[in-house]
Structures are given as C-alpha cells and as structure tokens.
Amino acid sequence: MIAEPVVSNAQWTKFFQSISHCESISKACAKAKISRATAYRYYEKDKWVKQQWDQAIDAGREYLEDAGISRAIKGVKKEKGIYFEGRLIAVEVEHKYSDTIWLAAMAARDPRYRKDTLDSKVMVELHKALDRLQRGLTSEEYEKVLNILSSDDMIDVTATNSETAPRQLGTASDDP
C-alpha cells in the first residue's frame, strides 16, 4: 500500500485561498503543488480539509454574488475613445447594467423573485425598482417621473417660454 502524500499547512492555505478567489480546483491544486487526486482523497477522508474547502467555496460564491450585484446596480463602466483625424478628442463613458444578474441575485435570496413564482405585476415592479436604482433616483422622484410620463397633459418639452418649460425635479414650483 502506498502512503498518502503529506500536504503542509502552507500548501492547504494556498489551496483554500485560491478557491476562495473563485479559481478552479485544478488551478488551486497547481498553485499549492497538490495533485487533484490527493486533494480529493483528503476531502473525502479529512474532516478539517472538507470543512475548510467548503468554507472556501462559500467565500468564493459570496465574492461572485457581490460582484454580480455590483454589476447589476452600479453597472460596468465602458470607455470608448472618439477620434478625429487620428487623434483622440474625447472619451465617451457609458455604464452598462445587467437586469439578469440582478434578478438572479434576488431569486437566490428570496423565493418570491424566482421565475416560476413571478407574475407580471411583480416583474413590472422589479423592473421599476432596478430602473430607479440605476438612475439614482429616490422613490419619490421616480414616482414623479412616472406620473409625468403617464399623464394625459404632458408638458411640451419643445417650449422655449420659461412659463411653459418643464421644471427639474426637486425645484420649487412657485418660482416667478
């Protein structure tokens, strides 16, 4: 019978850190200089290794979840150079958001947000909430925008007269 290779605490530390940083088991094994077969044998036979491994997987999952939620709410900044005659004249900055990641994160936390339990009213409310968050509006400001957009007597935005020009949200309505 062949003796099980001894794995040092330093090797296990590298291994668990790699897993907690969302690296694959193969990559974690390579960094820690542990064979995959040895790692899995330890996982099956050593309670401490199993516990640490599972905790590292959970930490990696939380990291991915946090990153996804950040992408959904804060977006990802994309910069695009604008060139004229071969020279950079401006940089256009755009934020891209992910509704899919946001809904998946909500579904992981609350069964009411899972696809099989959502009705159309809830979906509308979810999209409103995400839209509000992405625009950085308070609930009150967002409701004002929705009311303006849904009213029959919408303001003519082409008006140039200061009396008929639309007002910015949050400004006093009694200005002369």
**What does the block give as tokens for 94?**
């755009």
Q: What percent of the chain has pLDDT over 90?
A: 33
pLDDT, position 151: 59
The domain ranges of the chain are 9-72, 97-150
Please, are residues 26 and 36 in contact by the beta-carbon 8 Å criterion? yes
What's the sign of the alpha-carbon dihedral 158, 93, 81, 66? negative
The CA distance from 121 to 135, in Å, is 21
Three-class secondary structure of residue 115 per DSSP: helix
Q: What percent of the chain has pLDDT over 70?
A: 65
- Would you say residue 9 has pLDDT above 80? yes
When the pLDDT of each residue in the chain is averaged and rounded to a whole number, the result is 76
Single-letter residue type at 154: M
pLDDT, position 32: 96
pLDDT tens-digit profile of 62-101? 888 788 778 777 778 888 899 999 999 999 888 777 777 7
Q: Which of 4-18, 33-47, 67-81, 108-122 has the lowest mean pLDDT?
A: 108-122
The predicted model gives 148-161 an average pLDDT of: 50
pLDDT, position 107: 73
Question: What is the pairing mode between strands 87-96 and 76-84?
Answer: antiparallel
Please, are residues 106 and 125 in contact by the beta-carbon 8 Å criterion? no
Among 40, 32, 35, smallest CA distance to 16 is for 32
